Amino acid sequence: MTLMSCNNSNPFLSDWTTPYSIPDFSAVQEKHYIPAVEAGIAQQEAEIQAIIDNQEAPTFANVVEAYERSGAILDRVMGVLFNLAETDGTESLQKIVEQALPMLSVHSDNISMNPAFFAKVEVLYNDMENLGLNQEQKMALKKLYNGFVNNGIALGEAEQARMREINMELSSLSNTFGNMLLAENNAFAEEFGVAISEYGEAMAATDDRALREKMFKAYASRGNNGNENDTKDLIMKMMALRIEKANLLGYENPAQMILHDKMAGTPEAVDTFLAGIMAPAVKKAQEEIVDMQVIMDQDIKAGLLPAGSKIEPWDWAYYTEKVRKAKYALDEEQTKPYFQMENVRQGVFDLTTKLWGLQYEKLENIPTYHADVEGFKVTDADGSYIGVILTDYFPRSTKRGGAWMNNFVNQEVVNGQEIRPVIVNVGNFAKPVDGKPSLLTLDQVETLFHEYGHALHGLLSQCTYKSVAGTSVARDFVELPSQIMENWAFQPEVLEGYARHYETGEVIPAELVDKITAAGTFNQGFMTTELAAASILDLKWHMLESVEGVDPMAFEAQACAEMGLIDQIIPRYRSTYFAHIFSGGYSAGYYSYLWAEVLDKDAFELFMEKGIFDKETATSFRQNVLEKGGSDEPMDLYRRFRGADPDPAALTRARGL
């Protein structure tokens, strides 16, 4: 199908005429996706051929900038297709994605393995310091050059052909992993009447220990049930391909390949970093077990449990809640009525108004892809337009678990015209039911603030080129804007603005705020241990140099033993449902949450010193981090904000370790 023949009927083949360039979801039908992908590939192929055919000497404008401006149709269709595949992934849409992925993989490789295109990029890269480029232009050129190198432009013909096969197969396997896990999550929900997003709450509130054990074992064995959605073979295929790809590019293992251009630099640096966190975290967790065992012993004396019962993994959430009540007189059932979803969302909006003067307007009658989606226009303190934020916070069987941010429209500047972004925040919070609104746990409040930090990184971006705009930064830097926002969530001055009882409108009592503050580092041994354990497990997988003779679950068990993980805690994600690393782009990068936490805790200490709403500090963070995207080296951006390197001890101080 040619561009001309379907331009009048396919909404992807022209600019959106909807308000604020929000995708025209109401016009999009499933039949439009594949023809639009085909048209988009044809368009970008022609645009890149024009770069190659240009007889003028290579310049930043006629090579890099021309490439940055290519692929408009693909940007539109992929922005919608992949977002909806995660948030409303019907079976028919999953099949469309499966059809599109090989086409997109071939197209991507055709670009990054094109010797004539690379020749022009290489000329510029080798003369970068003499071209008069600003720092953002240098970063865009560097990123484009590295894209060629990292995908094997220097390989021989046979090796490049094999690299293409690997890329295509990895793309397909990654998508299959996500679909299998969604099916496993839905099976869990069907068996227990508890959505995956509600698992933690259910484990904390379920008195029946046998039921807790059953739920825990079902949760922890997702993807490991010997059924059609068992992911173990898939993991082994993916790791074999990742190792082969790394070897083709001259690396001993995938971790070396992935980390060479990140802040951490090497697997050894990450390993040392994580080991330094794991040891104190486990020590703290063991202290937490002692506190829980005291209460369990009381239940034994009361005849509620057999003599000799010890804390097991399925007891942790339940007895943690009991310890929380005993130590701090803090009960989630007391706090949840004050955290209605809409009020928490307004709270994070109001915080950004205090920090940066942002203003919000609820948008009515805009196109959305689901009835749960709400939209808000964001403007700056001077009234200038910033972008649109869409929120999609409730679970459904077609939505994958977890919470995330994504772009429907990227921020960039094209021919002098500012393109402002359309951003979406997605969550899986309890849906209103029986007249009761969506009420959030303390963890979910933090999650909402966290994801809005990612949204701010996208919304406030002030870059020229989309390849370095917004969240297009090193993986171990991307969590700084999100995680720093969590620090404000439970500050008393912030809580008094948004934490109101959903029935009475009463502001959260100071006594309850004091309890939340006092419990701020509660259970951090467990939370840090499970996070560090998952990070180490990810790293161990990607430091493998061969999968020969490797049994996935035995490998995981050995990794957990070597890292010193105690029996009462499992990694936050076990291998068979570790979507971040097998379908989510965090391969050898899950450590970035802890790595960035050093930055965010160090950064927030400056706010604590100057005042949590200090305008000068907030402006500096906006100008040096939120607006800059990947337009400069991440540590340079951080130093400009902080005036110094981050203090590694900031993380352990904040977590009470």
CATH class name, domain 337-518+593-654: mainly alpha
pLDDT cut 70: percent of the chain above it = 99
Q: Which numeric CATH code is attached to 3-112+114-150?
A: 1.10.1370.40
Q: Which residues have CB under 8 Å from 235's CB, separation 6+?
A: 177, 552, 575, 576, 582
Query: Of 408, 267, 262, 427, which Cα lies nearest the Cα of 342?
Result: 427
451 is catalytic: yes
Phi/psi of residue 584, nearest 5 degrees? -125, 10
Pick 543 or 332 by higher pLDDT: 543
Average pLDDT over residues 568-582: 96
pLDDT cut 90: percent of the chain above it = 93
Question: How confident is the model over 584-623, as pLDDT tens digits?
Answer: 889 999 999 999 999 999 999 999 999 999 999 999 999 9
Question: How confident is the model over 283-331, as pLDDT tens digits?
Answer: 999 999 999 999 999 999 999 999 999 999 999 999 999 999 999 988 8
In what helix (H) or strand (E) does residue 377 lie, and over which residues does it extend? strand 374-379
pLDDT at 470 over 50: yes
pLDDT of residue 306: 96
Question: How confident is the model over 376-386, as pLDDT tens digits?
Answer: 999 999 999 99
The partner residues of 588 in beta bridges, in order of sequence, read none
Question: How confident is the model over 226-279, as pLDDT tens digits?
Answer: 999 999 999 999 999 999 999 999 999 999 999 998 888 999 999 999 999 999
Helix axes 115-126, 30-53, angle to 10 degrees: 60
Q: Is 186 exposed, middle or buried (0-12, 13-18, 19+ CB in 10 A)?
A: middle
Specify the domain boundaries for CATH 1.10.1370.10 within the chain.
174-330+525-590
Q: Residue with structure tokens 């009381």?
A: 298
pLDDT of residue 657: 85
Q: Which residues have CB under 8 Å from 199's CB, separation 6+?
A: 188, 215, 219
Q: What is the DSSP string of 605-623?
A: HHHHHH-TT-HHHHHHHII
Decide if 467 contacts 417 (C-beta within 8 A): no
Minimum mean pLDDT among 2-16, 35-49, 99-113, 266-280: which range? 2-16
pLDDT at 29 over 90: yes
The rounded distance, in Å, linking the Cα atoms of 217 and 222 is 9
pLDDT of residue 476: 87
The total of other beta-carbon atoms located within 10 Å of residue 3's CB is 18
pLDDT of residue 436: 93
The rounded distance, in Å, linking the Cα atoms of 126 and 131 is 10
Query: Of 222, 224, 234, which Cα lies nearest the Cα of 170?
Result: 234
Average pLDDT, the chain: 95
Decide if 441 contacts 344 (C-beta within 8 A): no
The rounded distance, in Å, linking the Cα atoms of 70 and 466 is 11
Query: Of 482, 478, 376, which Cα lies nearest the Cα of 423?
Result: 376
Q: How many residues does the chain have?
A: 657
CA atoms in the 13 A half-sphere facing the CB of 583: 25
Question: How confident is the model over 77-120, as pLDDT tens digits?
Answer: 999 999 999 999 899 999 999 999 999 999 999 999 999 999 99
Residue 521 binned pLDDT confidence (cut-offs 50, 70, 90): confident
Q: Which of 451, 486, 597, 627 is catalytic?
A: 451
pLDDT at 6 over 60: no
Question: How confident is the model over 143-167, as pLDDT tens digits?
Answer: 999 999 999 999 999 999 999 999 9
The rounded distance, in Å, linking the Cα atoms of 377 and 408 is 14
Write the single-letter amino acid at 106.
V
CATH superfamily of the 174-330+525-590 domain = Neurolysin, domain 3 (1.10.1370.10)
The partner residues of 424 in beta bridges, in order of sequence, read 390, 406
Decide if 320 contacts 443 (C-beta within 8 A): no
The rounded distance, in Å, linking the Cα atoms of 171 and 98 is 9
pLDDT at 483 over 60: yes
Residue 546 binned pLDDT confidence (cut-offs 50, 70, 90): very high
Question: How confident is the model over 419-445, as pLDDT tens digits?
Answer: 999 999 999 999 999 889 999 999 999
The rounded distance, in Å, linking the Cα atoms of 254 and 240 is 10
Question: How confident is the model over 384-410, as pLDDT tens digits?
Answer: 999 999 999 999 999 998 999 999 999
Q: Which residues have CB under 8 Å from 109's CB, separation 6+?
A: 151, 163, 164, 167, 168
Decide if 651 contacts 277 (C-beta within 8 A): yes
Decide if 419 contacts 413 (C-beta within 8 A): yes
pLDDT of residue 8: 60
Q: What is the DSSP string of 435-495?
A: TB--B--HHHHHHHHHHHHHHHHHHT---S-GGGSTT-S-TTTTHHHHHHHHTTTT-HHHH
Specify the domain boundaries for CATH 1.10.1370.40 within the chain.
3-112+114-150, 337-518+593-654
